[in-house]
Amino acid sequence: MRTRIVAGLLILSVFLALSVSASNVPIKWGKILPEDISLKSYAADPEASAVVLCDYGTTTVGPRTEYFRHVRIKILKEEGLKYAQVELPYRFYNKYDDIGQIKAQTFNVNEKGVMVVSKLKSKSIQDIQIDRKNKKKVFTFPDVKVGSIIEYKYTIFSLDLVKLHDWYFQTTIPVIWSEYRISVSRRFDYLVTYQQGRALDIDEQTSFGKRLQWLYSTKIKKAYRELFDNNYVLYESPQKTAKVYLIEGQTLRFVMNQMPAINKTIPAITDLFSTIKVHLYMAAGNFPFYYRPILLTANEDYDTWDRSQLHQKWLTGYIVYWMPTWEEATQKWLKNDRIGNRLIKSFNYKSIFDNIGVQENNQQKTVQGIFNYVKENIKWDGTYSIGADRDFDEVLKKKTGSSGELNLMIVALLRRAGLEADPVLVRTSNLGRIENMYPVRDQFNHVVAEVKVDGKTICMDATGDSINDLPANVQNTTGWLLKREGFGWITFIKTETPSSMNQIQRSSVLSSL
């Protein structure tokens, strides 16, 4: 069981073992510690409205990825009652996720000093659809008041394989104990990354890229022999803010305790959290047939298949998946039917040029005309996307489209006007900082257009108010410039130089790692 540690320091303990006893868990259902019952306020943060007594989670990778979570919270003030409302998002599309039994209960001490337990009834759990692929389970604990202890647990059986759920050690209220375990079978090799609240800087990314290149260039058995002496640590940043493990057939156990609350001062509070991130490096071998559903999700076009198409897909070859380099991922995205290939497919652009009057000797007017035409004739439907699901002719006909359809059309029109234009994959600021260590396409949710005009590089976004201003959720973010050569990270920085054109300029471009 968990023991209370009073030191006010953030301590990360990492244990690597072939197995961890199931009975050796930090929290047991319904077993409340006496000190938690008597807790009236949290000494390290007397203003805290609630405190996480224990947050325990496990991830086990097999024919399906199994996520288990057990959380216990003490309500200290009226403002803390909001933590009695819980939302559990999941993907129902193609039966991707399946949530097992959700259990929740509230503990109160009555006037006689007797513990009273109120259990959540299954009929009180709502299942709400978010969009065409995602839903969420929503419930509120019964009989919650100041002084209550609440706990819940659930399991999600998922087809996650390439990118697993992140684990956050901190939240907006203090956390006394947070423990996470990741277990993978011998069929998979995973990179498990501990990051302490910030992305790698340029020098660190370059150093990490060299270690990844060493891994790519070394036979996996030899790599494990060399990593064994270093406790399977592939990379550790000089500032100790990031550490990467390579594991196969093992369990990693991470423990942090006595963590203060993080005040929300930026759009995405998760940028400040200490986090565990898990990415598939390699899946190799002749897998049993029951692994087929989860292996299919390694294909980036998985979300475009319906159930009938899934049954038609067959897996062949010994190597099922190998994490690509940024260069390999870029070339792959450029060949994707919804992204790069969409830019070269034919559509009726000449009628647009006749309408706006493309001028070969005036690049600024040409760019302005193309942007205005798309902005005025196609309504943004409010959805973000890095690709175009429909042909541009259909988008023009329907007069509505996603962010990807609008901005990729701008890139396609600019190219056909003879200008050098490329898409930039973006993660809007409300979703948090970009992941610059691994080429994960799904981290991006938006795309903007970059073009060279009279020797200057500018970016534009049809979801914004005008060509002169990028939307607020794009400004000061970092995006991936998608082109065959010269690809890399760029940062959108708005200058104050007066101009009729948008002066969002590239601040840096990093070559592929």
- HEC string for 149-186: EEEEEEEEEECCCCECCCEECCCCCCEEEEEEEEEECC
- pLDDT greater than 80 at residue 176: yes
Count of the separate structural domains present in the chain = 3
Residues 378 and 318 in one domain: no
Length of the chain: 513
Q: Percentage of the chain with pLDDT > 70?
A: 87
Q: What is the arithmetic mean of pLDDT over 405-416?
A: 96
Q: For 377-388, write each residue's pLDDT tens digit.
A: 999 999 999 999
- Burial of residue 67, with CB atoms counted within 10 A of its CB: 0-12 exposed, 13-18 middle, 19 or more buried: buried
Q: For 66-117, write each residue's pLDDT tens digit.
A: 999 999 999 999 999 999 999 999 999 889 999 998 999 999 999 888 999 9
Residues 128 and 142 in one domain: yes
Its domain, for residue 100, covers 11-283
pTM for this structure? 0.83
- Burial of residue 197, with CB atoms counted within 10 A of its CB: 0-12 exposed, 13-18 middle, 19 or more buried: middle
Q: Any idea of the CA torsion for 375, 381, 382, 388, to the nearest 10 degrees?
A: -80
Tell me whether residue 380 is in a domain: yes
Q: At what angle do helices 403-416 and 363-377 cross, to 10 degrees?
A: 150
CA distance 253 to 28: 17
- For tokens 């009236």, the residue is 40
Residues 437 and 383 in one domain: yes
Residues 130 and 273 in one domain: yes
Residues 252 and 308 in one domain: no
Residues 279 and 349 in one domain: no
Final residue before a domain boundary, out of 324, 350, 375: 324
Q: 498 falls in which pLDDT band (50, 70, 90)? A: very low
CA distance 42 to 45: 5
Residue 312: the pLDDT is 64
CATH classification of the domain holding 461: 3.10.620.30
* DSSP H or E stretch at residue 330: helix 326-334
To the nearest whole number, what is the mean pLDDT of the chain?
86
Residues 404 and 317 in one domain: no
Residues 45 and 141 in one domain: yes
Residue 269 vs residues 30, 295, 476: alpha-carbon distances, Å:
31, 33, 16
Residues 129 and 275 in one domain: yes
CA distance 55 to 177: 6
Instruction: Return the SS3 of 398.
Output: helix
- pLDDT greater than 50 at residue 497: no
Tell me whether residue 74 is in a domain: yes
Asked if residue 200 lies in contact with residue 436, where contact means CB atoms within 8 angstroms, the answer is: yes
- pLDDT greater than 60 at residue 271: no
Residues 261 and 301 in one domain: no
Q: What is the arithmetic mean of pLDDT over 265-291?
A: 78
Q: For 331-344, write each residue's pLDDT tens digit.
A: 999 999 999 999 99
**Which among 95, 93, 76 is positioned nearest to 84, based on CA atoms?**
76
Residues 6+ apart with CB under 8 A from 478: 433, 434, 436, 489, 490, 491, 492
Residue 318: the pLDDT is 58
Residues 303 and 274 in one domain: no
CA distance 310 to 297: 10
Tell me whether residue 334 is in a domain: no
Tell me whether residue 434 is in a domain: yes
- pLDDT greater than 50 at residue 508: no
Residues 344 and 468 in one domain: yes
